[in-house]
A and B are shown apart, each in its own frame.
Chain A
Amino acid sequence: MLSEGEVVFTPEELERYDRQIRIPEFGIEAQVRLKRKRALIIGIGGLGSIISIYLTRAGVGKLLLIDRDKVSITDLNRQILYTHEDVGKYKVKVAIKKLSEMNPYVDVDGVSDEVNENNVDDYVREADIVIDGLDSFKTRLIVNDSCVRFKRPFIHGAVNGFNGQVMTIMPLKGPCLRCLIPKEPPEEKHIVPVIGVTPAIIGTIEALEAIKIMTGLGEPLVGYLLVVNGLHGYFRKFKIARKPNCPACGEKR
């Protein structure tokens, strides 16, 4: 297991991370902690592309990607892992290849699968942190509940048009996604419109939150929802309370 035993860096690897190791708050200690961690990204579309690229380049130990879809041409305005010639290929397959080329020191793996109530625990149990690249609240809530069961940090992100939101969940320490949205909202009937810069902004903040949690640095967005609107140029933090009657993390769970 990666989270056990000694972490060894080659000289080349240390050079690769030189510029971030030089950040006083970061240092070699944070780099070691990052390499010990396994991150699970569920959904590698617009958000997942960005999250996986930044975690790979930052030097997380192991990255597991889950997505059932193939690349479609309508993905290419925002899903920056993929290019024109990838249309029709399984996203996971393309992503593993490209991310491994970006950083051969990261163990990148993936499964072409749909996450549901039956398989979610198998994936979440093996991860140190779970990051949301999903496009439905139904699946997000399934993942949230599993993260609460196994006490895994869960970084939530979602986008629409020019706006998006991020929330960091530390189960039983702060509110979970069900404290905010107890039941799934009616399924979105229309295609969600979005421009590439929006998942880029939101996915980058999710990756930042994941790095903070994995290294223990800073103050993650626990107990807050960060709301971003690109068109009007604001970032706003709203408080979220943990609910004692939450079906996932409440007293009667």
Chain B
Amino acid sequence: MIVNDSSMRLYVRFYARIKEEMGREAVNLNVKGNAMNIIDLLRILSKDKKMRKGTLIDYYLQGKLLIAVNEEIIRRNEEGKLILKDGDIIDIMPLPSGG
């Protein structure tokens, strides 16, 4: 989908409702630039696909996502601090709140 000449490759997996709405289970990304964080990634994915109630970045801002990088959950509100690197696997999940 988004192809560039640079070297950073990211593998992004979608879960549950996010997977349904993105219409795919996972995506391989080749991205340019060297200082990309998770919010940048969500913006890139948001350009590609509009979901039922907005975009991935909207879902993130509404507190509806839980994100893991290489099997470790990234603390909410710190998604902008972590710089992604080549080969990272990113999991994007909905955050459930009901009981």
- Complexed CA–CA distance, A238 and B97 (Å): 18
* Chain B residues packing against A (C-beta within 8 Å): 15-17, 19, 62-64, 66, 68, 71-73, 75-77, 91, 93-99
Q: Does A76 sit at the interface, judged by CB under 8 A?
A: no
Minimal Cβ-Cβ distance residue in A for B19: A232
Are B98 and A158 interface neighbours, CB within 8 A? yes
Per a CB cutoff under 8 Å, which of B15, B71, B73 touches A229? B15
Are A182 and B76 interface neighbours, CB within 8 A? yes
Given A162-B16, A232-B16, A232-B19, A132–B99 Cβ distance below 8 Å?
Answer: yes
Minimal Cβ-Cβ distance residue in A for B16: A163
Are A160 and B96 interface neighbours, CB within 8 A? yes
- Complexed CA–CA distance, A231 and B11 (Å): 22
Q: Does A180 sit at the interface, judged by CB under 8 A?
A: yes
Are B99 and A239 interface neighbours, CB within 8 A? no
Interfacial chain A residues near B75, Cβ < 8 Å = 179-182, 241, 243
Interfacial chain B residues near A162, Cβ < 8 Å = 16
- Complexed CA–CA distance, A136 and B95 (Å): 12
Q: Does A186 sit at the interface, judged by CB under 8 A?
A: yes
- Complexed CA–CA distance, A137 and B17 (Å): 20
Minimal Cβ-Cβ distance residue in A for B17: A161
Minimum-distance CB pairs A-B, first 4: A185-B63, A192-B98, A160-B96, A135-B99
